């Protein structure tokens, strides 16, 4: 009996948080720009440790210069590094993107795969990126993308005590309804950006605090 109450409480809290966030952000979604699934992967890789705004500035030029998957396969690494330099960690990102292009072409026939297991074989793609790509490209939801906002806010809101993104993801998958797995990432990102940033601020002024949810 006691254990079922313990299970119910986090699920009830998660449901309440999601309900409030959906009212605050009815159109919550990814803001990276892309024209096809391969460009989605490129944008997601570039977004690591970089703002979406900066990524969109870079890809506006990048996607005009490299129009097809083959353009990435033929790209000169040093030149490509310069094309994405302002997104930070550009050497690692360039190496991963160009290697990913070859894997997508050779292993998957030029189309991104549709499963988590296959996505994780692509250079530079971890669970967070795979969740984002699969959900946005195909509507395939195998987990919850845990970015820096999700990591920070899920701990702050008492939805997990874990620090490791994969452990946080497992905790969230236990208490968040599956139908909301894809959406919760973007709801928490928008909440973090608009009301509850990482910098010091008065939590009592955040909308969730005003509804009685402790932060």
Residues annotated as part of the active site: 128, 147
CA–CA gap between residue 102 and residue 110 (Å, rounded): 9
Nearest to 75, CA basis, from 58, 57, 62: 62
Distances in whole angstroms, Cα of residue 176 to Cα of each of 136, 148, 160, 181: 19, 18, 12, 7
Contacts of 52 (CB under 8 A, 6+ apart): 31, 32
Exposure of 129 in the CB half-sphere (CA atoms within 13 A): 25
């Amino acid at each position: 009996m006691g254990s079922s109450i313990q299970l119910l409480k986090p699920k009830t809290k998660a449901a309440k948080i999601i309900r409030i966030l959906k009212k605050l952000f009815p159109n919550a979604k990814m803001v990276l720009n892309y024209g096809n699934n391969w460009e989605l992967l490129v944008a997601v890789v570039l977004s690591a440790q970089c703002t979406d705004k900066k990524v969109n500035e870079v890809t506006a030029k990048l996607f005009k210069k490299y129009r097809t998957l083959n353009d990435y396969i033929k790209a000169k690494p040093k030149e490509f590094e310069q094309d994405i330099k302002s997104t930070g960690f550009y050497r690692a990102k360039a190496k991963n993107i160009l290697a990913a292009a070859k894997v997508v072409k050779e292993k998957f026939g030029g189309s991104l795969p549709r499963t988590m297991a296959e996505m994780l074989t692509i250079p530079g793609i971890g669970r967070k990126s795979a969740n984002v790509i699969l959900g946005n490209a195909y509507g395939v939801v195998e987990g919850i993308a845990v970015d820096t906002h999700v990591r920070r806010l899920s701990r702050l809101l008492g939805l997990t005590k874990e620090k490791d993104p994969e452990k946080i993801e497992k905790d969230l998958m236990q208490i968040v309804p599956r139908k909301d797995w894809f959406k919760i990432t973007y709801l928490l990102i928008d909440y973090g950006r608009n009301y509850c940033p990482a910098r010091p601020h008065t939590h009592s002024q955040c909308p969730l605090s005003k509804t009685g949810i402790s932060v």
